[in-house]
Each structure stands twice: as structure tokens, then as C-alpha cells.
Amino acid sequence: EVQLVESGGGLVQAGGSLRLSCTASGFTFDDYAIGWFRQAPGKEREGVICISNRDGSTYYADSVRGRVFISTDNTKNTMYLQMNSLKPEDTAVYYCAADLQPEGIFAGWKGYWGQGTQVTVSS
């Protein structure tokens, strides 16, 4: 079974931190682009941060620059999203994803997706 399972979401006050986890089963992260996306109520899904499997670079939305970091533990086949200095506008459902050949940085990801985990930041 191919699956991504997320955990770590919850309620946090503005200025706080959270770390989300995403563990893959049925495949490994090797050779995949990996990343995190989010969708707030009434808004389209947007890319938050990802690691390209083309150039190896990390890409991120301007709104999270300096506050959000992505990392992996390949022995556990797990990716992490570390979020610091959280703001109310960070409130969204967060999704992890992996794709062998996405269309762009955050566009055209047709591979594997997690179920989503809710992050709520209160003022």
C-alpha cells in the first residue's frame, strides 16, 4: 500500500512553533521531490516549502521564509515541517506530498499525498 501519513497538527498561539511529520509506506523518498502544501478556508492550495529532485534546492513561499524548514530522516522514511513564529494567517490544513516529476516548483504534483493535518494559530 502506498501511503503518506501526517501527524503533529494542532492548536498553537501566535508566535509558537509546531513540527509536522509525514511518514511514507509502500515507497521511499529516494529520488522524489518532497514538499508541504496548505489550504486555508476559502483559498486555493498553495505550496509552502519543498525540496527539488532536479537541483536539490529548497523552495518556499515568501510568507514563510525564515520561519519554516523542511527536513528528512531517510532511515525512517519520514519528512518534517518545522514551523516557528507562527501567525494566524498560517492557519490551514497542511499536506505532505512526494512526486518523481512535478510540473514545476509547486505546480503539477501528481504523485502521493497525505491526508492533511489541521494547524490552527490563535491570536
40 pLDDT tier (thresholds 50, 70, 90): very high
Percent of the chain residues topping a pLDDT of 90: 95
For the four alpha carbons of 97, 21, 90 and 68, in that order, the dihedral sign comes to: negative
Widest Cα–Cα separation across the chain = 40
26-39 average pLDDT score: 94
Q: Please state, in angstroms and rounded to a whole number, the distance separating the CA atoms of residues 107 and 70.
A: 18
Task: State the amino acid at position 25 in one-letter form.
Answer: S
Q: Which of 119, 102, 93 is nearest to 51 (CA)?
A: 102
Q: Please state, in angstroms and rounded to a whole number, the distance separating the CA atoms of residues 72 and 52.
A: 13
Task: State the amino acid at position 18 in one-letter form.
Answer: L
Query: For residues 81 and 51, is the Cβ–Cβ distance under 8 A?
Result: no
Residue-wise pLDDT tens digits, 51-73: 999 999 999 999 999 999 999 99
pLDDT at 60: 96
